[in-house]
Copies of this chain bind each other. A is one copy, B any other.
Amino acid sequence: MSAWTTSWRSVLPHLTVPLPEDRSPETSGGHGIGVNLPMELVRQSVQPREYWQIPEEVLDAYRKFRPTPLWRATGFEEAVGARVPVYVKYEGGNISGSHKLNTALAQAYYYKRAGVRELVTGTGAGQWGTALAAACALFGLRCTVFMVGSSLERKPYRGVLMRMLGAEVLASPTGTTRVSRETRGQGNSLSLAIGEAVEYAAGREGAAFCIGSGETYSILHQSVIGIESIAQLAELDAEVDAVVGCVGAGSNFGGIALPFHAEAAAGGTRPPRLVAAESSSTPKLTRGVYAYDQTDATGTGPLEAMYTIGSSYPIPDSHSAGLRYHGAAKLVSAMRHAGQVDAVAVDQVEALEAGRRFTVREAVLPAPESGHALAAAARLATGGAERGVLVCVSGHGYLDLGAYRQLLDGELSDQAPAPEALLAAVAGLPRVEGART
């Protein structure tokens, strides 16, 4: 149990430049919708304090599934021809099936303490919605989830699981919110679901909108993954020079990777290479621009500095629904811009094949999202890394077996954005100062 931690660890004290401030939207049209964050979450987003005490109630919940396992994946190494050891940190063992529960529990706790009685959110693949439903069940809060309709249709059982946990699940676009009527369901499906949740929460007494990924505080809560990993690698007397996580907005990657940056910065040593594995169908970190963009489709939230392919870019369907987000977290984006974070894009065929090999040899079934990280880890372990690779398997794939069936039956293909479509989607976005255009 030496990997057990009672603190989260922030990377904010170790940034070389401060995070760019958010901008007000120019297009709010007068019906601005505010999101009231509990003060502690605000503080966690801005204060450059290294350690944050995890509240006792959250620790009690963490004890049900943390520390999570870390092991050397010798079978996977053999399957991919690795030349250095590959270590795996597995976050899929809890009820929500992914790392998202780490921040859902923290957020439910802080919102409840702030007097909120209902949490409302948008979800793509459903991992975040499931995590929030589980956290709300534990803390006695109501929960309403707007889930991307195409994703809910493809993975109906995610919806069932959320309902079992007591949440109300709505297929987005619902047609009942202003934002869903105005966009007529066109455009970016996840940012629309989030937009619907924001609008819905604003109209309900005692309700608050909350979000699973991308926020600086949610990345802080995920730091338990990296903190535990550092201790577990030390126990194994193992050393890695590359740390890999998959990136939707960035909380899984941030969770496993950024504590390594903080640890190295605090100790004056060289950090391992921190590699964000994104989907080639949403290549914000490898093909996007560093600009101010919206986080959702309401057009009313603040504009954040992020690597983005444009919040209006119509992302194609994909099995790695958890990666179908147009932008990277502002913290991850800033560190990418400062050269502290690396990125690679992986397509879903390579990702699912890596997931299949991992399943056969490691007896753990990864989510398609995690397959992206595994594929990136395999690339590094066969060339690039010199001492070892740590990779986070962010979730399990028991609700994604339809994707693996398509892989087995040769029915999978990929849809990377055409260059002109990307250019069009980011054309009007104000670039962050110092960014290449």
Q: Does A275 belong to the interface (CB within 8 Å)? A: no
Partner of A398, one of B97, B163, B363, B404: B97
Residues A165 and B359 in contact, CB atoms below 8 Å apart: yes
Residues A163 and B359 in contact, CB atoms below 8 Å apart: no
Chain B residues within 8 Å of A157, by CB: 398, 401-402, 405
Looking at A65, A161, A408, the one whose CB has the most chain B CB atoms below 10 A away is A161
Q: Does A360 belong to the interface (CB within 8 Å)? A: yes
A residues contacting the other copy or chain, number (CB 8 A): 33
Residues B404 and A160 in contact, CB atoms below 8 Å apart: yes
Chain B residues within 8 Å of A166, by CB: 360
Instruction: Mark interface residues in A356-397 (1 if CB within 8 Å of B CB, else 0).
Output: 100111011100000000000000000000000000000010
Q: How far is the CB of A267 from chain B (nearest CB, A)?
A: 30
Residues A363 and B138 in contact, CB atoms below 8 Å apart: yes
**Bound complex: CA A160 to CA B319 (Å):** 16
Given known A95-B364, A363-B64, contact A401–B161 (CB-CB < 8 A): yes
Given known A160-B408, A164-B356, contact A363–B134 (CB-CB < 8 A): yes
Residues B94 and A363 in contact, CB atoms below 8 Å apart: yes
Q: Does A137 belong to the interface (CB within 8 Å)? A: yes
Q: Does A93 belong to the interface (CB within 8 Å)? A: yes
Residues A163 and B408 in contact, CB atoms below 8 Å apart: yes
Q: Does A399 belong to the interface (CB within 8 Å)? A: yes
Chain B residues within 8 Å of A164, by CB: 356, 359-360, 365, 401, 404, 408
Q: How far is the CB of A11 from chain B (nearest CB, A)?
A: 29
A-B contact pairs, 23 of them (CB 8 A): A65-B363, A93-B93, A94-B363, A95-B359, A137-B361, A157-B398, A157-B405, A160-B404, A160-B408, A161-B401, A163-B405, A164-B356, A164-B359, A164-B365, A164-B401, A164-B404, A164-B408, A165-B359, A165-B360, A396-B398, A398-B398, A398-B399, A399-B401
Give me the interface of A with B, judged by CB distance under 8 Å. 64-65, 71, 93-95, 97, 134, 137-138, 156-157, 160-161, 163-166, 356, 359-361, 363-365, 396, 398-399, 401-402, 404-405, 408
